[in-house]
Amino acid sequence: MKKRALGGDGFSVSTLGLGCMGMSEFYGPSDDAENLATLDAALERGIDIFDTADMYGHGANEELLGRFLIKRRGQVKVATKFGILRSDNPDARPIDSSPEYLRSACEASLRRLGVDTIDLYYMHRRNVDVPIEDTVGAMARLVQEGKIRALGLCEVAPDTIRRAHATHPITAIQTEYSLWSRDVEAEILPLTKELGIGFVPYSPLGRGALTGALRSAGDLAEDDFRRTIPRYAPEVLSENLKSLKALQIVADRQNATPAQIALAWLLAQGEQIVPIPGTRRPERLVENAGAVEIKLSSKELASLSASFSPATILGSRTTNVGSALIDL
């Protein structure tokens, strides 16, 4: 698989990464044997950037990845995150981006992953009461100590990005971006291009909606957290899924799947973009990897962009709790 550069410091990764969150939580039950097989399939297809976070499965996701890395550390770049605290209250998501917590969180992630250095360390969400210069300054000290290699920020505002980048070079910004979620096109994406920062879209397949496999809200497991997101409410989802007709038309023309076309569209939005579609099934991993070989015409790109204009997609992309955590 071809490589793309994130940031300006030589941090090169595969054109597609792998989001590992769903292997441990949020999308219903999973099987670790199948998860590990999916990680193997990713390496076989040349995918070398694996994305996790300390809060996924209360640390279980990092531990899973750590078991995989025992014999494969040199082949994988690990991205993980700090800042979102877990509690017994599912409606609460405290944020701690203080230098003190950052250091302890990094040490804990290193232990769970079984590595000496985290390749890409993200501030998962920002506590606006902590100056971003303090947080990034503390992250920079961890770089000096060899505990992390590169810095990333998730779901942050343009001013936060500029201030952070002035403190220490930021390698990647991670925010939701797909045909279904295009907020970043107004300011964030142009800013990453201007500053030479990589952009890592999470949920690039609309949390499964752009694959064509999700037909209605009834397809979601009872404990699937998408049931709490307004965009996936039964009556709203049925309206939103109508937009997939345009995706299927292009997929049929390209002899591809809707998921592959959605990823190909995203990859065409900029060379600094490295999507991290999540899956826990090897066959889906192989399907997603095939997107890098698809070249969409300018007409197809324009048609998809028009069919999925932000005004046509109903409902918020996050839960009410999640919306409160986004740095605006």
Range of the domain at 84: 3-324
- Pair type for strands 3-6 and 11-14: antiparallel
pLDDT of residue 228: 85
The residue that leads in pLDDT, 82 or 87, is 82
The answer for residues whose C-beta is within 8 angstroms of residue 176's C-beta and 6 or more apart is 155, 183, 201, 202, 203, 317, 318
What average pLDDT does the structure give for the chain?
93
The tens digit of pLDDT for each residue in 3-20 reads: 999 998 889 999 999 999
Find out whether 71 and 17 touch, Cβ atoms under 8 Å: no
**Region 180-207: what's the mean pLDDT?**
96
pLDDT in tens, 271-294: 999 999 999 999 999 999 999 999
Here the CATH number for the domain that contains residue 283 is: 3.20.20.100
Say which residues have a Cβ less than 8 Å from residue 320's Cβ, sequence separation at least 6: none
Q: What is the pLDDT of residue 90?
A: 65
Total domains present in the chain: 1
- Look at residue 325 and tell me whether its pLDDT is greater than 90: no
Interval 86-96 mean pLDDT:
78
Which of 56, 121, 177, 232 is the catalytic position?
Answer: 56
Q: What's the mean pLDDT in 53-57?
A: 94
d(Cα 78, Cα 66) in Å, to the nearest integer?
A: 10
Q: What is the pLDDT of residue 270?
A: 95
Q: Is 56 one of the annotated active-site residues of the chain? A: yes
